[in-house]
Amino acid sequence: PARGTRLPDNWQPDRHVIDAMREEAPHIDLRREHRRFTDHWKAATGRTATKRDWNAAWRNWIRTAADRAPATNSHQPPSKLRQAAERAARARTAETNPQQELT
């Protein structure tokens, strides 16, 4: 939209955005950050409370959370095996209840 809008009720980012942020910031609890994001923007007032692209705003929120998160072990990223197991678990959850993705 040319003009910004307030965050719609029950808004969730597009699936490809969730997947991209999961890949970019695997150490971030996306459900928790999504709740913080929606609470923040539902409570906000004034012109900063509207956005033209809520997916972009959410990506930035997650990236900021990732930047602020303490490194669990700054010398080693999460193992490929652990990442694969987490992706498989998320896929199973999404298959059984796709609306539960971030709520």
Tokens 């930035």, located at residue: 60
pLDDT value at residue 53: 97
Spell out the per-residue pLDDT of the chain, length 103, in tens: 579 999 999 999 999 999 999 999 999 999 999 999 999 999 999 989 999 999 999 999 999 999 998 866 555 566 777 777 777 777 777 776 655 667 6
pLDDT at 46: 92
Domain extent, residue 60, equals 15-100
- Residue 5: inside a domain: no
Q: List 51's β-bridge partners, or say none.
A: 5
Residue 41 belongs to a domain = yes
b or e along 49-68 (b: 16 or more beta carbons within 10 Å of the residue's beta carbon)?
eebeebbebbbebbeebeee
4 belongs to a structural domain:
no
pLDDT at residue 93, rounded to an integer: 72
Q: Which two tokens stand for residue 30?
A: 């996306």
Assess if residue 28 is contained within a domain: yes
Q: How many CB atoms are located within 10 Å of the residue 26 CB? A: 15
Report if residue 61 sits inside a domain. yes
Please give the tally of structural domains in the chain: 1
* Residue 6, domain member (yes or no): no
